[in-house]
Amino acid sequence: MSVAVIAGDGIGQEVVPVGIACVDAALAREGERIEWVDLPWGSDHYHRTGRMMPLDGLETLARHDAVFLGAVGMPDIPDTETLWGLLIPIRREFDQYVNLRPVKALAGVPSPVRGGDAIDVVIVRENTEGEYSEIGGRAFRHRDRESAIQVDLFTRYGIQRVARYAARLAASRGGTLTSATKSNGIIHTMPFWDEVVGEVVAEHEELRLDSVLIDALAARLVLRPASLDVVVASNLFGDILSDLAGAVAGSIGLAPSANLNPERAHPSLFEPVHGSAPDIAGQGVANPVGQIWTGAMMLEHLGFAAAATALQEAFEAVTADGVRTRDLGGTASTEEVGAAVVARLER
Ligand code: NAI
Ligand code: MG
């Protein structure tokens, strides 16, 4: 088993080594190991070569079983370059159409909102089309009439497959699937989204569909977080909701994510929800739990279920014990949290 590692930029360089050490410790308990292959891609590579990754980057990644990524993005490079030069091509070329983002309150982590410590939701975000489309352009540059057009792209195929994944997940959990929509204001794509999601849910007799307008859903996530279980959302809505849900659970630094190609025709990519956090990079205070949790999701996907469970229990126990970084009101460093998780796994 071999995993490509892109630590990337900013705090990615700090949380990825910690994530790897924790995954290794969880595997060692089972007498298993994986091979990590470091790829020095990201903003430094961009400064040297004008590209975030080499021209044959995707071919290199395709030779691995999974990709373990920290974050990319630096203030001195436009985010369009960093995102569209690395992450988005990987998600699209490897058809990672499910972006799975579980958000669960951890024992001992206070939520900034009332009732937030009961949050346990999985956001299933469509990851290849929707609002993040390449269709559009700029016209009349630098003139009074300067304009920009961005076209959303929603396909029956694309909605159907992400809705099917979410429906199966909802059936295996609480039995209710919440769909994020905006069919009152966005009158072409969102009613189509509602229709196709409705058809998919109708294939599951036991499942209840709750279609909620995105603005009301955002408010509900803050006011009644425990009322949500599995949420299926378009690319943009899912992106926003998952940062919000992560914050409700206590810190965006806790939130993990998996970019999945459920058919396993291509490698899947595992990364925390947060970005490169240039404001705290280099200080050793970044919360590594999002990256560690991401590692547990990767272990599960790669078939190491026992190691995944052990890792999950270990970081939950360490957090509950009070070994926490500054964003959670603690004083532990990134490395101290990692060392505590490893020590627990080695017990
Ligand atoms: P961000 O997630 O990097 O930071 C937002 C806030 O959360 C900051 O105050 C940061 O200090 C804090 N934070 C984030 N992760 C944390 C952690 N693990 N522990 C403690 N605090 C944490 O989002 P921002 O500032 O919008 O973006 C910074 C850069 O990251 C940009 O270039 C952006 O494009 C990029 N980015 C990359 C992503 C990726 O690689 N998947 C995802 C999101 C943003
Ligand atoms: Mg985001």
pLDDT digits (tens, 9 = 90+) for 2-44: 999 999 999 999 999 999 999 999 999 999 999 999 999 999 9
Same fold, 1-104+252-347 and 111-249: yes
* Interval between CA 221 and ligand 1 midpoint (Å): 21
* Interval between CA 337 and ligand 2 midpoint (Å): 24
Ranges of each domain in the chain:
1-104+252-347, 111-249
Whether ipTM > 0.95 holds is yes
Ligand nearest to the CA of 42: 1
Between CA 151 and CA 136 the distance in angstroms is 6
pLDDT per position as a tens digit, 78-121: 999 999 999 989 999 999 999 999 999 999 899 999 999 999 99
Contact partners, residue 286, CB within 8 Å, separation at least 6? 11, 14, 15, 253, 277, 280, 325, 334
Three-state SS string across the chain, please?
Answer: CEEEEEEECCCHHHHHHHHHHHHHHHHHHCCCCCEEEECCCCHHHHHHHCCCCCCCHHHHHHCCCEEEEEECCCCCCCHHHHHHHHHHHHHHHCCCCEEEEEEECCCCCCCCCCCHHHCEEEEEEECCCECCCCCEEEECCCCCCCEEEECCECCHHHHHHHHHHHHHHHHHCCCEEEEEECCCCCCCHHHHHHHHHHHHHHCCCCCEEEEEEHHHHHHHHHHCHHHCCEEEECHHHHHHHHHHHHHHCCCHHHCEEEEECCCCCCCEEEEECCCCCCCCCCCCCCCCHHHHHHHHHHHHHCCCHHHHHHHHHHHHHHHHCCCCCHHHCCCCCHHHHHHHHHHHHHC
Q: Is the distance from the beta carbon of residue 253 to the nearest atom of ligand 1 less than 6 Å?
A: yes
pLDDT per position as a tens digit, 277-327: 999 999 999 999 999 999 999 999 999 999 999 999 999 999 999 999 999
Per-residue model confidence (pLDDT) at position 153: 98
Hey, which of 67, 125, 276 would you mutate to test ligand 1's pocket, going by the most ligand atoms within 8 Å of its Cβ?
276
Between CA 255 and CA 243 the distance in angstroms is 8
Q: Are 98 and 163 in contact (CB under 8 A)?
A: no
Hey, which of 252, 270, 273 would you mutate to test ligand 1's pocket, going by the most ligand atoms within 8 Å of its Cβ?
252
pLDDT per position as a tens digit, 180-208: 999 999 999 999 999 999 999 999 999 99
Size (the chain), residues: 347
CATH number assigned to the domain covering 111-249: 3.40.718.10
* Interval between CA 56 and ligand 2 midpoint (Å): 26
Q: Is the distance from the beta carbon of residue 274 to the nearest atom of ligand 1 less than 6 Å?
A: yes
Per-residue model confidence (pLDDT) at position 307: 98
Q: Report the nearest-CA residue for atom 36 of ligand 1.
A: 275
Per-residue model confidence (pLDDT) at position 193: 98
Q: Report the nearest-CA residue for atom 23 of ligand 1.
A: 275
Between CA 268 and CA 87 the distance in angstroms is 12
Per-residue model confidence (pLDDT) at position 343: 98
Ligand nearest to the CA of 241: 2
Q: Which CATH architecture has domain 1-104+252-347?
A: 3-Layer(aba) Sandwich (3.40)
Atom number in ligand 1 closest to CA 77: 32
Q: Report the nearest-CA residue for atom 33 of ligand 1.
A: 73
Between CA 98 and CA 90 the distance in angstroms is 13
Quote the percentage of the chain above a pLDDT of 70: 100
pLDDT band for position 338 (50/70/90)?
A: very high
Between CA 52 and CA 85 the distance in angstroms is 5
Q: Is the distance from the beta carbon of residue 6 to the nearest atom of ligand 1 less than 6 Å?
A: no
Between CA 197 and CA 209 the distance in angstroms is 9
* Interval between CA 240 and ligand 2 midpoint (Å): 6
Q: Is the distance from the beta carbon of residue 242 to the nearest atom of ligand 1 less than 6 Å?
A: no
pTM of the model: 0.95
Q: Report the nearest-CA residue for atom 43 of ligand 1.
A: 275
Angle between helices 305-320 and 334-346 (to 10 degrees): 120
* Interval between CA 222 and ligand 1 midpoint (Å): 21
Q: Is the distance from the beta carbon of residue 87 to the nearest atom of ligand 1 less than 6 Å?
A: yes
Between CA 211 and CA 232 the distance in angstroms is 10
- Give the strand pairing for 230-233 and 176-181: parallel
Q: Is the distance from the beta carbon of residue 287 to the nearest atom of ligand 1 less than 6 Å?
A: yes
Between CA 148 and CA 87 the distance in angstroms is 23
Q: Compute the mean pLDDT over every residue in the chain, rounded to the nearest whole number.
A: 96
